[in-house]
Amino acid sequence: SELNCVAAVREETKLVVGDADGTLYIFNENQYGYHSDKYAGHPDAINSMIAVTDNVLITACEDGILRAVHLFPHRFVGQVGHHEGNMPIEKLDVNADGDIIASSGHDNKVKFWNISYLENMDYTKKRKPVLQAPGQKRKKMSEAMDKEKEFQLPSSGRVNRKEFFQGFES
N residues, the chain: 170
Say what the pLDDT of residue 86 is: 83
8 Å CB contact between 126 and 78? yes
8 Å CB contact between 49 and 5? yes
Say what the pLDDT of residue 148 is: 44
Tell me which residue of 66, 64, 78 sits closest to 108, measured CA to CA. 64
pLDDT in tens, the chain (170 residues): 799 999 999 988 999 999 999 999 999 988 888 899 999 989 999 999 999 888 899 999 999 999 999 988 888 888 898 898 888 999 999 998 888 999 999 989 999 999 988 877 766 654 443 434 455 555 544 554 444 455 667 666 666 555 555 666 55
Say what the pLDDT of residue 130 is: 40
15 strand-pairing partners: 8, 27
How far lies 120's CA from each of 53, 54, 127, in Å? 11, 13, 17
Tell me the one-letter amino acid at 76: F
Report pTM: 0.73
